[in-house]
Amino acid sequence: MQPYLLSVLSGLMLTASFPNTDWNLLAWCAFIPLLRATEGRSGKDTFKIGYAGGLAFFWSLLYWLTNVTVAGFFVLTFYLALYFPVFALGVNFLRRRGTVPVWIGAPLLWTALEFVRTYAFTGLPWGLLGVTQYRFTALIQVASLTGVYGVSSLVMLVNIAIDECIRKRGREYATPVAAALIALVACIGYGSWRLSGENHAEKIVRVGIVQGNVPQEEKFGQGFREEIVQRFHDLTLEVAREKPDLIVWPETSVPGYYWYEPYIYQSVAEIQREVRKPLLFGSEHMIEGSKRKYFNCAFLVDARGEPLERYDKIHLVLFGEIVPCKWLFPFLMKLVPYEDDFSPGERFTVFPLEQGNFASLICFEDIMPDLARKFALRGARFLVNITNDAWFGRTSQPYQQVAHAVYRCVENRIPMVRATNTGVSCSIDLYGRINRILRDRSGDELFFQGTAVFDVALTRANTFYTRRGNLWSMACGAAILLIFIMSGKRKTNEVK
């Protein structure tokens, strides 16, 4: 029983490193109980012990998913938890047969597994190890070179170095400890250097956001349409008094299909005739054909209320907007809150704005590293995340999402504004600093109506990560694969 408790302890320590607890120092040693519990054990025992830790982590981290789909929560976490035993098995293999020391191989393996998780089955990179350090501004600047995965590698390296101190005596642990200290100092030094030479703003764009706080059960109810439209009308007039360059409403803020419902279309146009400012808002959209397709979209209308451009959400939420393998397991469609899957968009839309072009990330798209990078490559000067966290109630989910969003700014040296129906509406600068959060008079950040105007500084920074993408994580994957192949061949030769 003790090994399982140690593994569960690892999972809970790791969860405590994320918001809302934010005990981020725990992440630097969270894996030690798991490593102690699995060392020297059989493959079967290692898998079971590691899986217990994975379940403990993802159950405690993603508990808020049960507000949307209980069955989907279990299916998703049963899958995600597999990465823990795979890592534990890999570490044991490296210790027994590895051609390189475990303190080199383990960080490579963990980074490769995080990269796989980012893309497998549409991808859900929620809870990457590096995200725990989102408030350590100097440290995380290395993400402009490696993406968030570089920070994950560093945190895992420190975990392994500490574990080696426990396992070994004398000077045997000197090398991994020295390597961890050198890597840590180098990353902090690089970040401090980047922060000391901050880019000067070429332009300031004033972005006004509206937080509507529409309850989820009212969002698409026919009896609430007029009330919702009136709410956004009043809040938009309020924020327009501060003369923003752009006004933003949250995800699916209009109660219907903007493009097809005259009432919704005309209501938006009437608001625009009063405020005379460009407006970005979220709306569902459908396209008729041999099979009707549904999209989660962001629309930009000009100061006269004329539609300018539309972005169809590209990355769909697993068991929220899309079900993988439903052709094989049709019963899985019962696990999601919609009757039909959404369709993914195919175009990286960059919206035009006089002060500087921008791109919109919808819902969980701000957790996807490569998506924000591709928008930056196409000329987006800043990002706008529109989301609706009313689904998840008063939980840690909104705060966890902001922690992930910080990295999209650091990776691409690009600022972000977040507009939520309810959640953490805020601005994040190009170094990942959360500059301002919309709060009510009591200091609460969730479940209230409000508006804010953020001054967003635009620069023309261009990072290595933006230009070259996930080279670090792919290199880690290639390296650990080569290590495993070489280790396997060496064992075969020894047997011969």
Mean pLDDT (the chain, rounded)? 92
227 is annotated as an active-site residue:
no
Q: Is 289 exposed, middle or buried, given 0-12, 13-18 or 19+ CB atoms closer than 10 A?
A: exposed
pTM of the model as a whole: 0.94
DSSP helix/strand/coil, 464? helix
* Helix or strand (DSSP H, E) at 118: helix 102-119
- Of 105-109, 182-186, 292-296, 374-378, where does mean pLDDT reach its minimum? 292-296
b/e per residue 330-368 (b: at least 16 CB within 10 A): eebeebbeeeebbbbbeeebbbebebbbbbbbbbbbbbb
pLDDT, residue 170, reads 59
Sign, CA torsion 366/369/373/374? negative
Q: Is 171 exposed, middle or buried, given 0-12, 13-18 or 19+ CB atoms closer than 10 A?
A: exposed
Task: Give the Cα separation of 286 and 77 in Å (integer).
Answer: 31
Total Cβ atoms within 10 A of residue 196: 8
In whole angstroms, what separates CA 303 from the centre of its chain? 32
Q: Strand order of the sheet with strand 307-312?
A: 307-312, 293-301, 279-287, 246-248, 203-211, 450-458
Task: Give the Cα separation of 284 and 280 in Å (integer).
Answer: 13
What pLDDT, in 10s, does the model give residues 450-481?
999 999 999 988 899 999 999 999 999 999 99
pLDDT, residue 318, reads 74
Q: What residues form DSSP beta bridges with 118?
A: none
Of 93, 6, 100, 94, nearest in space to 42 by CA: 93
- What is the widest separation between alpha-carbon atoms in the chain? 83
pLDDT, residue 341, reads 75
CB-based contacts of 477: which residues, under 8 Å, 6+ apart?
Answer: 108, 111, 112, 115, 116
Q: Please spell the DSSP secondary structure of 360-372, one letter per residue.
A: EEEGGGGG-HHHH
- Terminal Cα distance for the chain, rounded: 39
pLDDT at 194 over 60: yes
pLDDT, residue 488, reads 75
The token pair at 209 is: 């956001």
Task: Give the Cα separation of 31 and 175 in Å (integer).
Answer: 19
Percent of the chain with pLDDT over 70: 93
218 is annotated as an active-site residue:
no
* Helix or strand (DSSP H, E) at 191: helix 174-196
What pLDDT, in 10s, does the model give residues 67-112?
988 888 998 999 999 999 999 999 999 999 878 999 999 999 999 9
On whether the CB atoms of residues 139 and 185 are closer than 8 A, the answer is: no
- Of 51-60, 105-114, 323-332, where does mean pLDDT reach its minimum? 323-332
In whole angstroms, what separates CA 451 from the centre of its chain? 24
Total Cβ atoms within 10 A of residue 165: 15
363 is annotated as an active-site residue:
yes
Q: What residues form DSSP beta bridges with 454?
A: 207
C-alpha distances in Å from residue 338, one per residue of 27, 102, 375, 406: 36, 46, 28, 30
Q: Is 279 exposed, middle or buried, given 0-12, 13-18 or 19+ CB atoms closer than 10 A?
A: buried
pLDDT at 131 over 70: yes
Q: What residues form DSSP beta bridges with 457?
A: 204
Residue of 187, 284, 313, 321 marked active site: 313
The token pair at 247 is: 């006004």
pLDDT, residue 216, reads 83
The token pair at 136 is: 């350590």
> In CATH, what is the architecture of 203-460?
4-Layer Sandwich (3.60)
Of 285, 280, 420, 283, nearest in space to 364 by CA: 420
Residue of 187, 297, 363, 409 marked active site: 363
Q: How confident is the model at residue 326 (pLDDT cuts 50, 70, 90)?
A: low
C-alpha distances in Å from residue 300, one per residue of 24, 304, 314, 354: 38, 11, 17, 13
Number of helical (H) and strand (E) elements in the chain, helices listed first: 16, 11
Which whole number is the average pLDDT over 264-276? 94
* Helix or strand (DSSP H, E) at 457: strand 450-458
Domain extents for the chain? 2-197+470-495, 203-460
